[in-house]
Amino acid sequence: MKHRIVILGAGYAGAYAAGILARRLSPADTEITVVNAEPDFVERLRLHQFAAGQEIEARKLTDVFAGTGIRLRLARVTAVDPERQVVAVADADGGGELGYGTLFYALGSHVADCGVPGVAEHAFDVTGRPSALRLRERLDSLDRRGEGGSVLVVGDGLTGIETATEIAESRPGLSVALVARGELGARLSAGARSHLRQACDRLGITVLEHTSVEAVEATRVLCADGTALASDATVWTAGFAVNPIAAAGGLEVTENGQIVVDRTMRSVSHPNVYAAGDSVYAIGDNGRPLPMSCASAGYTGRQATDAIVGRLTGRKIANTKLVYLGNHISLGRRDGILQTVDDEAQAKPKYVGGRKAARVKAGIVKISLWATSHPTFGLPKRKHRLVAAPDASAEKAVA
């Protein structure tokens, strides 16, 4: 029986890792299945653009994996049982179970309500294509009524900044406000903070600093100081959370549910489970946890696949660099900020801003999409055989 590798999630980490494994492992010994709830590859880096009204092409995963030998299972993961080595899935046909010899866990993250009442019921977010589409439709309805409208973006992290500036630029008829718990752009250098403020002023964005939101209602947001802010569309970008499936399945996780791994992205509690992307608690080369980001997904995904190939084929496992170099922030389509950081993850004094930064960010997004859409390009053509036959008893499957 072939060794079954099951990959959960076809985001930046999962889709690219599937291609690497398909190119480097012999199909005579292995069978690779990717499980994903949506039929398209979602460019999460551009969901704020999609929500603002721009056309973002959705690549079909069937096209992405065409000719690779990778099997695609369109289903929602409902549970992981690492003791039995099976994954439970649900789909239009009722679902079932998939057995595995090696599990690659990359289910990513979603919006976190941070315990604030009303977020789930009344707020919008841009962590998935369906939710971004819901926000887009709401903004369309505000535009159609011709009376303007107020959009309140809660959270001044990278997602909040990019969402607020994109909406303000794409829909000038709407009033956009950005709520920050502390100083706007506090983690940026002084020059970059100044550039960000100038961009907000240019786009007409109202910035509310040192403001804490305690509740979200249908037409307003309630703040800790008693202030009520009117809002026709509240966009919540104040935090992200991982899927609770790993914790429920008994994998060792952190308090926020990320899978605890060793340097090779291998679960410390279940050695045939690997994790990458937002789902993993990975310590970078600077001794600090890697942030949730597309770049981290690339580094951790590559390390995990190197480890899987190495252990299955008896080869030496190389250490992939695990670094956090900085942030690439878009401020609409014609402006941006590139902020590098030092080994302590503190912003360096110098930054790049303006059109050059915007072009670099656009290039990074384009390269990320191309690499994911061509997952086996540029990899060695030699497919390695496994060093030993897998344990068939651990790879039974109920499809």
- What's the pLDDT score for residue 393? 38
Residue 281 β-bridge partners? 260
Question: How many angstroms separate the CA atoms of 382 and 162, rounded?
Answer: 42
**Residue 344 pLDDT greater than 50, yes or no:** yes
pLDDT number for residue 373: 75
Residue pLDDT, tens place only, 194-246: 999 999 999 999 999 999 999 999 999 999 999 999 999 999 999 899 999 99
Residue 379 φ/ψ, nearest 5 degrees: -90, 155
Cα separation, 23 vs 20, whole angstroms: 5
User: Whole-angstrom Cα distance, residue 198 to residue 384?
Assistant: 54
Tell which phi-psi region holds residue 69, choosing left (phi > 0), alpha (psi between -120 and 50) or beta. left
Residue-level pLDDT at 395: 40
Confidence at residue 379, expressed as pLDDT on a 0 to 100 scale: 57
Is residue 301 within 8 A of residue 320, CB to CB? The reply is no
* Residue 398: predicted pLDDT: 37
Average pLDDT over residues 87-103: 94
The rounded mean pLDDT for the chain is 92
The predicted model gives 239-261 an average pLDDT of 95
Give pTM, 2 decimals: 0.91
Q: What local confidence, expressed as pLDDT, does residue 79 receive?
A: 98
Q: Whole-angstrom Cα distance, residue 87 to residue 75?
A: 11
SS (H, E, C) the chain: CCEEEEEECCCHHHHHHHHHHHHHECCCCEEEEEEECCCEECCHHHHHHHHHCCCCCCEEHHHHCCCCCCEEEECEEEEEECCCCEEEEECCCCCEEEECCEEEECCCEEECCCCCCCHHHHCECCCCHHHHHHHHHHHHHHHHCCCCCEEEEECCCHHHHHHHHHHHHHCCCCEEEEECCCCCCCCCCHHHHHHHHHHHHHHCCEEECCCCEEEECCCEEEECCCCEEECCEEEECCCEEECCHHHHCCCCECCCCCEEECCCCEECCCCCEEECHHHEECECCCCCECCCCHHHHHHHHHHHHHHHHHHHHCCCCCCCCCCCCEEEEECCCCCEEEEEECCCCCEEEEEEECHHHHHHHHHHHHHHHHHHHCCCCCCCCCCECCCCCCCHHHCCCEC
Rounded distance, CA 356 to CA 353, Å? 7
Encoded tokens for 209? 């600093």
Cα dist from 238 to 12, 103, 115, 122, 234, whole Å? 22, 31, 11, 14, 12
Per-residue model confidence as pLDDT tens digits over 21-31: 998 999 999 99
Q: What is the pLDDT of residue 380?
A: 57
- Sequence-distant (6+) residues with CB within 8 A of 370 are none
Q: What is the pLDDT of residues 3-53, one digit of tens each?
A: 999 999 999 999 989 999 998 999 999 999 999 999 999 999 999 999 999
Examine the pLDDT at 173 and tell me if it is beyond 80.
yes
State the Rg of the chain over Cα: 22
Q: What is the reported pLDDT for 388?
A: 66
Q: What is the model's pLDDT at position 378?
A: 61
Confidence of residue 377 (pLDDT cuts 50, 70, 90): low
pLDDT tens-digit profile of 113-150? 989 999 999 999 999 999 999 999 999 999 998 888 99
pLDDT at 95: 86
How confident is residue 381, by pLDDT bands cut at 50, 70 and 90? low
301-337, pLDDT tens digit by residue? 999 999 999 999 999 998 999 999 999 999 999 999 9
- Give the count of beta carbons closer than 10 Å to the beta carbon of residue 195: 24
